[in-house]
Amino acid sequence: MNLLVVVVFAVTLGAWAQNVEVRLEPGDGSRLGDWAQASVPLRLKPTGPQDVKFDGPSLATALWGEFALGQAKYAVLLGTRATGEVNLWVDRNRDRRLTTDEGQAGTAGPGRSTWSVSLRAEPSGGEPYTYALSILWPEGRGYVYLLGGAPKVGTLIVDQRSYRLAFLDGDLDGVYGTKGDFYAVDVDGDGVFYADPDGHERFELGETFTVGDKTYRLAQVAPSGTFVRVAPTVYAPPKPALIPGHPAPDFRFTSLVEDRSLALSDFRGKVVLLDFWATWCGPCMNELPHLKDLHAKYRGQGFEIVGVSLDIYPAELKRVVEGEGLAWPIAFEGKQWDNSLALMYRVYQIPTSYLLDRKGVIRYRDLHGGELEQKIMELLAEGSAQAPEAVPLPPVVLPAGPPRSILELNLPPRAGLVARGKTQTTLQLVNTSPYEAEEVKVLVQNLPAGVKAQEVEVGNIPPFGERTVTLAFEAQDLPTALPAGLVLVVYHYCIGDACFQMVDKGELAWVVGREAPVRASWNPWWVLVAVGVALLAAWALKGRLLVVVLVLLVVGGSLALALGIRRGQARQAERVGATLCTSCVGIEEAPRRQVALSAQARSILATLTRRVRVTVFYTAWCKSCPYVKAVVQAMAQVNPLVEVELVDAEGEPARAEAAGVLRAGRLVVPATVVAGSGQVLFGADNIEDRVLQQLVRVGR
């Protein structure tokens, strides 16, 4: 036994001795590259933390937020003065008072304002350190982005060779080594970190890296980022580089169209466009006609497309492939991001494409339109004998990290089932991001035998919005053992032209009841009638009988209140109070005239050359909203480049709030937002001219 302890101790000591410590110093994020600037959205609210006070100038609107760097919490106030000037205050000294001297000097760009601030992070178990942060506000939005990540850099020495190592606080929580953080190692020693989300020199915390013939893993990370310790581990081949000039990793797949096994290397001698796409990805589908044209035009000269579909449902993919008549091989596994080819190519957003030359070397990536055609022609002209030239690196336009879930799934602790009966359970989906979750579907798998559940189509969930989903179950005879069900939430979201398909999962435990709950069906009008009758009786009765009336009123009133709350009427009341219709409260008059765009307005609209989205926020009872809706719809008819979106502000308050349709704590309708203008146009007064002005600014 003692010998065993000694051996274990010796092995542990030996392993410890092989660990390599890398001291880290603060690095310059702007010199490291775009990957070294992490971004996290921070939602702002009209009300601040209860204990934070603001001693500053009077503000027309105020939006509050709070974030933590380790144990240090910082309150943020984004205030707009009556003059329209926007200021940001950060509680730098954390005394829960925002004072004038805590206002930050910012820079305003087109449609955005940015403030730089130097704060102190206090990680638990580590030394406090200085944390440089930028705060970016897309104008008119109900959120800001925290930008930074406080990169730390150091040098790792292996076999007398030195490799640079960088560590990033990717989740901007002020603590290194927590979920969302990552590191980069310049494994090829060329002085550049290829650490974009699909870069071969970027590594997640649990990922190993290989330098020379040795593979290492992270053994320890100092919470304040002063050092990391790496330990040798089992050799793993290095990640292939997916940058121009490097050979494209080969793979084998079964073509969906021809139903035969193919390899990428089978196309050696041809110029190949390797295209990762899906039918649910709007930008990918928009690109399809162009790809079809290119394929038809250059196929005879040695051009081929290899598509890798990240779809889930084969029927949907086949419908598109057959409907569009796609004649190139398409790989399909039905695993979305877990598709082995997508994993091999570290695809984290689609569309993603690589253009390979006749030797199978990556030459370009993410080319579209005329530029793609030109490069195809160039590569076809090169001929197979010509060696690839040194190709400049493409510009990095990758904005975010790998696809991550944006929906929070709140499941009930248990869902009820009854034999030979129907039951329901509700779950909540909360969008935690400023991106719209599109085509959200909820389905349940692993259902017990004899239980059926319908797939629920939720539709889109706006930024920071939430939805309650009701799942209905129908059961026959139930077995005694009920394994947990698996709730799948399938959706996708897009950031700019990059789209991500997600499947979030949750477990659903079952509880078996004897019979289906019977819902009492009675008309709540009777409660109101009872109250009315009691009031009439109060006029007619005298003396002690009035006590009976009083009891009736208390019971009737309480019942009505409880029923009203249960039916969501308290929330309705709050929404009525929180939404302000400019014509309803007499801030302006609701226009009752017919919409007629002037000839001048039509000619101005005809000059728009870029697609512009115009969103009108309205409520059902707003009197001037129909007019505003009609105006923007008339504009869209004149020029189809004007895309109109109508949003019920009452139904989607979070979205309206995120769009900045908020004044003095109220959602104000009608409100018109021309995407990219950074302004919200309230009311219907002179709305034609005001929208036109913004369209001209953005759409030309």
Starting at the edge strand that comes first in sequence, how are the strands of the sheet with 129-138 ordered? 38-43, 143-148, 129-138, 112-121, 106-109
Compare residues 392 and 586 and give the one whose CB is closer to other proteins. Answer: 586
| Alpha-carbon separation of residue 48 from 6, 43, 74, 133, 137 (angstroms) | 58, 12, 12, 21, 17
Q: Are strands 161-168 and 182-185 parallel, antiparallel or unpaired?
A: antiparallel
> Which of 259, 112, 31, 6 lies closest to 676, judged by CA?
112
**3-state SS assignment for residue 261:** strand
**DSSP per-residue string spanning 449-495:** TTEEE--EEEEEE-TT-EEEEEEEEEESSPPS--PPEEEEEEEEEEE
Min dist CB 76 to other proteins, Å, is 14
Cα angle: 394, vertex 395, 396; to 5 degrees: 110
DSSP designation for 71? T
Q: Does residue 533 interact with other proteins by CB under 8 A? A: no
Among 222, 330, 347, 549, binds other proteins (CB under 8 A): 549
Tell me: does residue 529 bind other proteins (CB under 8 A).
no
Using the rule CB under 8 A, which residue among 31, 542, 592, 593 binds other proteins? 542
515 CB-near residues (< 8 Å, 6+ apart): 418, 421
> What span, in angstroms and rounded, lies between the C-alpha atoms of 91 and 64?
11
Residue 81 three-state SS:
coil
1 vs 112: CA distance, rounded Å: 68
Least distance between other proteins and beta carbon 139 (Å): 17
75 is an interface residue for other proteins by CB under 8 A: no
Query: Which residue in 25, 459, 620, 651 binds other proteins (CB under 8 A)?
Result: 620
Q: Please select the residue that binds other proteins; options are 4, 13, 585, 599, rule is CB under 8 A.
A: 585
Contact 217, 230 (CB under 8 A): yes
Sites for other proteins among residues 655-684 (CB under 8 A):
663-666, 668, 682
| Cα–Cα distances in angstroms (integers) from residue 415 to residues 167, 217, 420, 484, 506, in the given order | 44, 42, 16, 10, 13
In the bound state with other proteins, the residue whose beta carbon lies nearer, of 46 and 402, is 46
562 binds other proteins (CB under 8 A): yes
How are beta strands 407-410 and 414-418 bridged, if at all?
unpaired
Indicate which single residue of 25, 589, 643, 645 sits in contact with other proteins (rule: CB under 8 A). 589
Considering beta carbons, is residue 66 or 266 the nearer one to other proteins? 66
Closer residue to other proteins, CB minimum distance, 398 or 531: 531
Nearer to other proteins by Cβ, of 381 and 550: the residue is 550
Going across the sheet that includes 407-410, the strands are: 407-410, 421-431, 466-475, 451-453
C-alpha distances out from residue 544 to 394, 539, 541, 547, 558, Å: 90, 13, 9, 6, 22
- Give 75 or 635: the residue with its C-beta nearer to other proteins: 75
Q: Which residues contact 177 (CB under 8 A, 6 or more apart)?
A: 205, 218, 221, 222, 223
Residue 572 CB, shortest distance to other proteins, in Å, is: 7
Q: Which of residues 165-194 bind other proteins (CB under 8 A)?
A: none
Q: How far is the CB of 645 from other proteins (least distance, A)?
A: 24
Considering the rule CB under 8 A, would residue 535 count as an interface residue with other proteins?
yes
CB of 10 or CB of 82, closer to other proteins: 82
Query: What string marks each residue from 287 to 316 as x (binds other proteins by CB under 8 A) or -?
Result: ------------------------------
Which span sits near other proteins by CB under 8 A: 26-34, 140-148, 217-225, 619-627? 619-627
The answer to whether residues 492 and 280 touch, using CB atoms and an 8 Å cutoff, is yes
Q: Is 600 left (phi over 0), alpha (psi -120 to 50) or beta?
A: alpha
CB 530 within 8 A of CB 556: yes
Name the segment binding other proteins (CB under 8 A); options: 202-210, 349-357, 376-384, 620-628: 620-628
Binding span for other proteins by CB under 8 A among 165-173, 399-407, 565-573, 610-618 = 565-573
Distance CA 204, CA 183 (A): 6
625 binding other proteins? (CB under 8 A):
no
- Closest distance to other proteins from the beta carbon of 583 (Å): 8
Shortest spacing between CB 670 and other proteins, in angstroms: 13
Size of the site for other proteins (CB under 8 A): 65
Alpha-carbon gap, residue 233 to 214, rounded angstroms: 8
Q: Specify the residue, 397 or 535, whose C-beta has the smaller distance to other proteins.
A: 535
572 touching other proteins, by CB under 8 A = yes
Could you say whether residue 569 binds other proteins (CB under 8 A)?
yes
Closer Cβ to other proteins, 60 or 393, answer by number: 60
- Helices (H) and strands (E) in the chain — how many of each? 13, 43
Q: Which is nearer to other proteins, 396 or 535 (CB)?
A: 535
Residue 584, interface with other proteins (CB under 8 A)?
A: yes
The residue from 9, 235, 313, 621 that contacts other proteins (CB under 8 A) is 621
How far is it, in rounded angstroms, from Cα 541 to Cα 171? 70
Q: How would DSSP label each residue in 145-176?
A: EEEE---EEEEEEETTEEEEEEEE-TT-SS-T
Q: Which stretch binds other proteins (CB under 8 A): 14-22, 250-258, 428-436, 568-576?
A: 568-576
> Which residues, in sequence order, are bridge partners of residue 45?
64
Check residue 335 for interaction with other proteins (CB under 8 A): no
Beta strands across the sheet bearing 227-233: 20-23, 227-233, 214-221, 209-211
Q: Does residue 580 bind other proteins (CB under 8 A)?
A: yes
With contacts defined by CB under 8 A, name the span among 96-104, 302-310, 585-593, 673-681 that binds other proteins: 585-593
Sign of the C-alpha dihedral computed for residues 576, 577, 579 and 585 taken in this order? positive
Stretch that binds other proteins, among 11-19, 102-110, 493-501, 525-533 (CB under 8 A): 525-533
Near other proteins in 106-165, by CB under 8 A: none
The only residue of 319, 452, 567, 611 in contact with other proteins, by rule CB under 8 A: 567
* Footprint (CB under 8 A) of other proteins, residues 36-65: 45-48, 60, 62
User: Smaller CB distance to other proteins: residue 62 or 471?
Assistant: 62
Residue in 169, 187, 227 with CA at minimum distance from that of residue 29:
169
**Quick one: 466 or 685, whose CB is closer to other proteins?**
685
Contact residues toward other proteins (CB under 8 A) are 45-48, 60, 62, 82, 524-525, 527-528, 531, 535, 538-539, 541-547, 549-550, 553-554, 556-565, 567, 569-574, 576-578, 580, 582-589, 620-621, 623, 663-666, 668, 682, 685
